[in-house]
Structure formats: structure tokens, C-alpha cells
Chain A
């Protein structure tokens, strides 16, 4: 495994590189050549992508391209640019960026079955990956591609391979994000499963007063998903962030819809449900979801309300009086929630159910 490292060090020692160049290269590599054959200390920080590094690599390349233009006089430019672009893509693209993405992907995969809260910090780390990809892409499109425009064959060739490379990178980013979403949903489901039966059926009113505004489960989920979303928002932007948030929102909504079918709710507990739901909706609003998601938020709120309002009002609400939010919902889908009311067996509730 250390063969690459050894090969590199060996090369540094070889005679056909001038000593002054060895000194420069060692300095750039950050290794101490004095300690001959010594172990090279690498830290986790060395394994992270660095924008300054990326910029240095691009600057070196730009210098080489400029030099090529000046020295070769132009007629060989497309060929030379192709050579240099290939080096850039293989180093900055594949060795640097793709390795980072693969590492992130490994990290993500390794946490699939974790019992503890998954460490989704790799989502925030994507910020660097994406910046690197962006810089690489901008360099290729604004600096290199115009220089090969005169040679149709090379231009098509490079466009094709560049696009293929970018596609591959984007697919990897997508896959990592998908893994993050999956892990987040799995963990959210686990958190929901930890909701206590008594959470929505408080034994006495005193406890109700003492308790905090939301149930612990709700708070845990809120914190977990907020953190994830903030990580994503710092790393992503535009459609990618929107898509990521939408996936999270849809997942959360579906989990919540299932979740509230499975707890019996007392009259006082209904208040908890309502408070929790308000918090969840607050979370979803943070996600800056598209307009089309707004009805879903209203439905969620109304479902919480189903546990809070009196039997008479329930009947009206099911008929669409007071709020139209539920008008688009198949009434039978509401039955499971109503049945979870502590007073589901009462005449008034039963009659409301009958009206469905």
C-alpha cells in the first residue's frame, strides 16, 4: 500500500532531478527530505480537499497554458491544451476530487447500519468538493475550451470527455446525497420509534405543566434534521439544494403521517401533538420547499387539529367547515387518526366518523 509513497520518495531521490528542484518539490509536498526513509506523517486534514490547493493547481496550469501560447506560437495550441487538460482532469479531477467523493461515499456507506446517530458531516464537506468541481469546470470552459475551438476534432473530443467526467462527478455527488437522505430518514424513523406511548396521554395535568413545549422525540428530530439541512445548505445551492430539501421534506411528511396513526391521544395529549406538529412544520418551512408543498403543511396541521378539537367541531371540520385544508384528502384516510382519539368510542365522534 505504501508503494505509491515509496515510488514518489524514490523518485525524489533519483539523480535526474536537480537538488534545487527536489527541495522545491519536497516543500510543496510538505515532507522533510532530511529524515531519509522516515515515515511520512499524514493527518486527517491532509486527506481533505483544500480550495487553496485547487487554486494553486489551476494557477500552475494557467501559467503553463499561457507559456504554451507564447512559446509555440499558436498552431499547436489545441493539441497542447488537450495534453494539459488531460493532466488537470486526471490530477485535480480524478486523483483529487474523485478520491474525495469516493471517500465521502465510503463514509456514507459505512454509516448505513449504525446504531448511533449517523455522522452526516460529510454533507457539509461536499461544499469543498463541489467548489473544486465548479472551479475545474469554470477553468475548462472559460480558459481551455476556447483555445481548442479552432480544432473541431479535439474540441468535440474534449467536450465529450469533459462532459462525461462532470456527469460522473455529479452522479457521485447525487449518490452521496441520496445516501445522506436515506440515512437521515432511517435515523428519523428510529427516533420516532422512541416516542413514548405516554407522550400524548399524559397521566396528570401537573406533568403537562412541567413538561417542555415539545416531546423529546420531536426535539431530537428537529435538531437532527436542522443540522443536516444547514450542512446541506452550506454545501449545496440551487436545484441541488432544493431537490435535497424536497426529498427530506417528503420523507419526513410520510414518516409523520404514519407516526400519528400509531399513538392514542388524550384530550390533553392532543395539545402535545399540536405543538409537535407545529415544530415539525416550522422545520419543514426552514427547508424552503417549493410552493407546491404548502398544502401538505396545512394538511399536517389539520391532522394535528383532529386530535385537539371537540367532537362537534370535528364533524364540521370533516365536512370542510372552518378550514378547507382537508378538502383534498380522501376522508377515509383521516379515519385512522380520528380512531386514535381517546374519545373515539363516544357517540359524537362515532357520528362524525359515520359521516365520512
Chain B
């Protein structure tokens, strides 16, 4: 008989204890005896035989003889008893084992059944999901539409809810402002709501402003005791309208300040949020103004713009000399244009990241650069050129236009906010328009061609001065053909008429 495992031992131990029968001491063992860790077969057998011998000794104690023969009977009886007992135990054990295996089989069968049931459930779920998907996908017009309708409906409801909430809040604010003259709830939203709250705040405040405008006279009148409707200040209390306006003003200032801070820290996302909120204030004019005005470019470049136009006399000599090639674009204008080219490209990157409505900002930025910096510089160059000579002016006009227009083309190719794609149609149009406007004052009507004519005629009559003088005096001294004299004289005076009497501007 193999020693039982610890598990079986523990299970059987209670059982065997309960069924233990009071044999003699020698047969007093149970299944526990075998499951114990220190069970040794030899010891067990020894203990059995010991009990047998001792009982024999005690029973024969009165007649002690040293030569008494070995009596095996008690031993045999003890072993027989032990064997019988072991047999009983073994049968008992077998019975329990069978019982347990039957239990295991039953539980296993049940488990399998359960699994099959879940499998069916899953299949069913997948089927119904597929069915649903199919019905949503295509053929199921009804299902898809229904889903969309539900979505729309939900959205609508959400909006309505939002509206209702806004309206409630707005009314609350209005009551506050018109009743007590303060906007503390709105102030709270503004303080606590972060930038999202500011956007909402701005929206509500503007609605309130509208209400106040519609209510206008009545409300204001109430504060004015119905005496007049001109302004709510008559009784010293500010009208709701003023309060709201003031509030909006403060809010805008807040946002602008925040934007500026973000700008200094190059926090584009922050700038973007502020810009989005400020978009509602006069179409974002203030934030665009802030960006464009305080822009580094204008601060840094103001010096470049006002810097003196080149005074290199040799350069201007060549500019004015019709016989030498024009020396190109004026140097200070050139450096400004080069700078603009660079800055516009760099700033486009920032604008694109910092403004949701970046195209508008870019166009404002470009307008500002053209109408302020470039125009100012161009005027300086042309003024200087015009003080040198008519030709110098014309040449300066031409070289400037060529240079600026090449910059414009570069910007279009670069794409600015669309980089690396070419510039958008709108941006390209703005560039072209700015370019045109820059030069319109010089090409309006016939002013350009008049200048060109005057310059050419002055040059021609100068070049032909000695020639004409010679021929006039030749005819003068030569009286052979008076008719010809008239011809030359007339021609000469006509030239003078054309070149000298043309209006100078």
C-alpha cells in the first residue's frame, strides 16, 4: 500500500477518525497513520509486534521461567487483526476514490455544456452585430437614416439645451446688470473659465449689449427716471449698456494682454486660443493690429526705413547719365526689400500657427509692410532721384519696381502661409494689388509718359544744341535761300516749344 499524498490524507483523516473502531491497542491505527510524514514501515511493524509481546509478558508474569518457549500466537493474532483492519481501510479508500471521480466527471460535463452555451450566445451576438452593421451601411436605408436622424436630433437637442442654458444665464446676467448694475456672474465666468470661458463670456456680453441696445431708451430711461432717454448717466448710475461695454472692453484688453504674453513666450497654441476669442471683437481687428503693429519687424526696421537714401554721388551720376547703364536698385531700398522678403517668410510661419484666421492676418501684415515701410522708403528714393534729374527719377522708378516685383514673385513662389505650396489666390491677389497701389501715383493718367517725353526731349535738345545752333547761324548768314531759313527756324522754335513749355508736372 502506497503512502497517501498529503491531500488525500487530510480528506480521509476526519473520515477515518469517525469510523475508527476500538480495537486493541495493537490495531489502533487509521489512515492518518499512513499519511503521516514520519511513517516508516519497519517502525509500524515493530510497534505491532511490541504490543503483542508485552501483552504476552504481562499475562505470564507470575510464572517466570527463563527457558519458556517462544509463543508466536499473540503475534500471529495481532498481525491478523492488523491485516483485517488494513483491508477494511483499503476498501473504504477505494470507495471514496470512486465517489470523487464520479463527481469530477459530472462537473466536467456541466462545464462543457456551459462553454457550448456561451459559444452559441457569442455567435448570436456577432450575427446580430453584423446585421446591424449591414443595415447601417448600405442597403439598410431605414437604419442608416434613422441613426443619422438620431444624431442630428441629439445635436439639435444639445444645441437647444446649450441655448437654453445660455439664455438662462444671459437673462440672469441681464437681470443683474439692469437691476443691480453689476455683472458679477459674468465676471466669474471670465475669471474662472479659462480661455474657453472668455470666448463664451464675450459671446454673452455681446448678446447683452444687443439687448441693451434694443431696450435702449426704456431701460436707460428707467434709470433716468423717465425724464430723458439720451443717456443713463443722468442720475449718476451707469446704464447697463455702459457697463456691458466697459466689461467687453476689459475682456478684450485681457485677451490682448494674454495674447501678447503668449507671443513673447512664443506659445503658439496660446496665441491661437486668444486670437480665436478675439476674432469676435471687431472681426479680430484689435489682435491683428496688436500683432502687426507691435511686430518686431516694425520695431527693428523703423530705423532701416528712415535711414538716409544713399548719397554716393558717383552712383547718382551714373543714374543720371543717359550714356551709362543704370546702376541698379538704390541700396537702402534694396536692403529693406531683402529684409521684407525674409521677414514675410518667417512671420508667415508664426501667423499660420498663431491665428486660426491666418490669411486675414497675413494680408493685414502685407498691407502694412507695403503701405508703410516700402512706400515710405520708395518715396524717399524717388524724391532724391527727382532732385537729381528727370532721367534718374525714371530709372529709379524702373529699378525699384523691378526689384520689388521680383520680391513679390519670390513671396508668391515661397507660398508664405501655404509654404511649401505656392501662395493662395487671395494672397497673390493682395500682393499684386499692393504692388500696383505702390506705383499708381507714378503712372496715373499720362504722368509717366509725360515725364519720359520731357526727359527725352531735354536730352535730345541738349545733344542737338550745337548742331541746331550751327545750322541756325548758317542759314542766318546765308541769304541764298530764305525759304529754308524759315524751315529751320520754325523747327527750332517748335522744338523749344515742345521741350520747354510742357507743363512740368
Contacts and interface: CB of A to CB of B under 8 A. Distances in A.
A and B bind: yes
Interface of A: 1-5, 7-8, 11, 16-18, 20-21, 24-26, 28-31, 40, 42-44, 46-47, 53, 56-57, 59-61, 63-64, 67-68, 70-72, 76, 79-80, 83-84, 87, 90-92, 94-96, 98-99, 102-103, 105-106, 109-110
B466 A99 contact: no
Interface of B is mostly: helix
B473 A87 contact: no
Contact of B320 (A24, A80, A110): A24
Interface in B337-396: 386-392, 394-395
Contacts of B266: none
Given A4-B495, A24-B391, A106-B480, 9 more contacts: A4-B492, A16-B504, A18-B386, A28-B463, A56-B322, A57-B460, A72-B443, A90-B494, A96-B467
Contact of A70 (B390, B402, B458, B495): B402
Main secondary structure of the interface of A (DSSP, over half): helix
A106 B484 contact: yes
Given A31-B465, A87-B456, A7 B474 contact: no
B84 interface: no
Interface string B432-443: 000000010011
A64 to B, nearest CB: 5
10 contacts: A1-B472, A7-B493, A47-B471, A57-B463, A60-B456, A67-B398, A71-B397, A87-B456, A91-B461, A94-B491
B474 A103 contact: yes
B493 A4 contact: yes
Nearest to A79: B449
A87 B471 contact: no
A116 B459 CA distance: 42
Contacts of A102: 484, 487-488
A273 B473 CA distance: 50
Q: How large is the interface on B (under 10, 10 to 19, 20 to 34, 35 or more residues)?
A: 35 or more
Contacts of A21: 320, 388-392, 458
Nearest to B450: A83
A315 B442 CA distance: 91
A136 to B, nearest CB: 13
B25 to A, nearest CB: 133
A258 B317 CA distance: 68
A61 B455 CA distance: 10
B141 to A, nearest CB: 59
A40 B402 CA distance: 41
Interface of B: 316-317, 320-323, 386-392, 394-395, 397-398, 401-402, 439, 442-443, 448-449, 452-453, 455-476, 478, 480-481, 484, 487-489, 491-496, 498-500, 504
Contact of B398 (A17, A18, A71, A106): A71
Nearest to A60: B322
Contact of A3 (B321, B458, B488, B493): B493
Contact of B464 (A1, A18, A31, A95): A95
A40 B460 contact: no
A53 B463 contact: yes
Contacts of A106: 475, 478, 480-481, 484
Contacts of B402: 70
A29 B465 contact: yes
A4 B456 CA distance: 18
